[in-house]
Amino acid sequence: MPTTHNYWPLVLDNLKSQISGSNYKAWFSRLEFVSTSNQGRKIILGVPSLFNKNYIENRYKGELKDAVSKYFPQVIHIDFQINKTEEEITPVVAQQEIIANLEEHPRLQANLSIDQEKTSTYLPKKNINNLNPRYTFENFVVAEHNEMAANISKAVVDQPGVLYNPVFLYGGVGLGKTHLMQAVGQKMLEKNPSYNIKYIPSETFLNQFQLALRKGEMEQFKNYYRNVDLLLIDDIQFLAGKESTQTEFFHTFNTLHQLNKQIILSSDKQPSEIKGIEERLLSRFNMGMVVDIAKPDLESRIAILNYKVEQMNLKLTSDQIYLVASAIDTNVRELEGVLNKIKGKMMFSPESEFSDNDLEHILITHKKTNLSAHLNSRTSQTDRIFQAVCKFFSVEKKDIVGPSRQQNIALARQFLMWFFKHELGYSYVSIGKMFGDRDHSTVMHATSKIDGLRKRDFRIQEKINLIKELAI
C-alpha cells in the first residue's frame, strides 16, 4: 500500500499543469510534504521562508487547495512549516518575481512599498507572452458545443486583424475559452516567431495600469500595449466599474484596431449582459465576432473523455466513460478533475482492477468536495460584502439585521439585499431570513428600489462599485 507521501508528486504535477513554468519554479519548486495529522484532516507542507508562505497563501491558495484535495480528499486544513530563515531569501529578487508575475494579486500589490516598486519591473519583457504550451489547437477537443468558436479561432490565425476583429468569446467557467485564446497565440507564434503577443487576465491589465499611474509611467504603459501584434485578454468583465482603466483600454483598443492588430477577449457572459462597462466599449466588443461556448452535451462529454482517456493512457471501459459523462454535466475542467483522481487511484493500486465501485466512490467524493467549495466561496463573499456595506455606510451589522428604520441603516440594508440577490444569487426568502426573518416581499421591495435608483441616479452605481472595491 502506498503511503500518503507517495501522493505528493501528483499534487506537484497538478500544480505544474495549472501554473506557468517560471511561477511554479519561483514559488512551488521548494514546497515539500512534511506530514499529515489529525487523522489525515491536516496536511503540513515545508516552505523555504515566511515570504514564500505568505505569497502562496495570498495568490495561489485556491490552486493549492484544489490540487491537494484531488489526492488528499480528507484534508480540510493546510499548514506550513518554515524550513529556512527568511533572511536566506533575497527580498529584492523575490519582490521582482511577484511584480513580473502576470497573474498578480491586487491585495498583495497594495502591500508593496514605494521603495520596492522602484526596484521592480511590472511590465514583462517583450518576449514574455505568458502562453501555456499545453493550450494548442491539437489538444482542443472540438464538438458541437464549441465548434463555431474553434473554427473562428482558427480562421483568425490565417487572417489576423482582418477577418474577425475583435473576437469575443463568452461562456461559463471551464469550457475552454482560455484554451482557445492561447491556441491562437501559439499558432500565430509558430507561423511568425517575431510576433509580439500578450496574453493577460483583465485583472493584470488593471493592476499594471494602477502601478503605472502611481509611478508616473503612463507613457511606458501605453507604448507597451499599443505595440502588440496580438492582444489576448481573459475575463474582460472584471473591468466593470473601473472607469479610468476602461478609458485607457478604450484607447488601446482603438489604436490596435486601426493598425489591424488582432484582439481576442473572453468573458463569462455576452457583452450586452455585462453591467458596469461603458457603452462605447460594448459597441466595440460587438463590432467583430461574438461567439459563445456552451456547456457540452452528453455526446460531446463522451467525445472529450475518450480523447483525454487516450492521452492519459487510462484503461476505462466504455460503460465507465459513459458513467462519468452522465455524472459530470458542468464543464470540461470538472471532467479533467475526475480523470486526475482516477489516474491517481490507478497509479497507486496497480495490482487491483479499477472497478465500477471505485469509480462510483470517486464521483461521489468529487461532487461533495465541489459542493462544499461552492458553499464556502459564497459564504466568504457574503461576509465580505456585509463588512463592506457596514464600512461604507458607517453602521453596525446588528443594526442592519435589526428592526431599526433610521434612514442610513435602512438604505444600507436595501443595498445589502440588492447585493445578495443580484451579485450572489440568493433567493428572496433566504435573504429575508438573513435579516431578522423578514418577509420575502420586503426584500423584493428593497431590490426594486435600488434598481430604480440606479436608473435615475448615476451616483448609485458609483456607490455599488465602491462597495465592491471595499469587498475585494
Instruction: Give the helix/strand (H/E) hosting 392.
Output: helix 356-393
Where the chain has pLDDT below 70, the residues are: 1-6, 22, 84-122, 124-127, 350-352, 367-379, 472
CA–CA separation, 104 vs 231, rounded Å? Answer: 18
Q: The dihedral of CA 386, 460, 106, 431: what is its sign?
A: positive
From the options 3.40.640.10, 3.40.50.2300, 3.40.50.300, 3.30.1490.20, give the CATH code of 147-292: 3.40.50.300
Within 13 Å of residue 434, how many CA atoms lie on the same side as its CB? Answer: 21
Return the pLDDT at 257: 94
Dihedral over alpha carbons 53, 55, 57, 63 (to 10 degrees)? -110
Angle, CA 35 vertex, CA 31 and CA 40 arms, to 5°: 120
Mean pLDDT of the chain, nearest integer: 81
Helix axes 440-456, 458-471, angle to 10 degrees: 120
Return the pLDDT at 254: 94
Return the pLDDT at 246: 93
DSSP string, 321-361: HHHHHHH--S-HHHHHHHHHHHHHHHHT-TTS---HHHHHH
Tell me, rounded to whole angstroms, the distance of Cα 227 from its chain centroid. Answer: 27
Q: The dihedral of CA 213, 219, 220, 225: what is its sign?
A: positive
Instruction: Give the helix/strand (H/E) hosting 244.
Output: helix 243-258
Tell me, rounded to whole angstroms, the distance of Cα 331 from its chain centroid. Answer: 15
Return the pLDDT at 117: 36
**How do residues 289-323 score in pLDDT, each as one tens digit?**
999 998 888 888 888 898 888 888 888 888 888 88
Kindly list the domain boundaries of the chain, sorted by start residue.
4-118, 147-292, 298-339, 372-471
CATH-assigned architecture of domain 4-118: 2-Layer Sandwich (3.30)
Return the pLDDT at 148: 93
- In CATH, what class is 372-471? mainly alpha
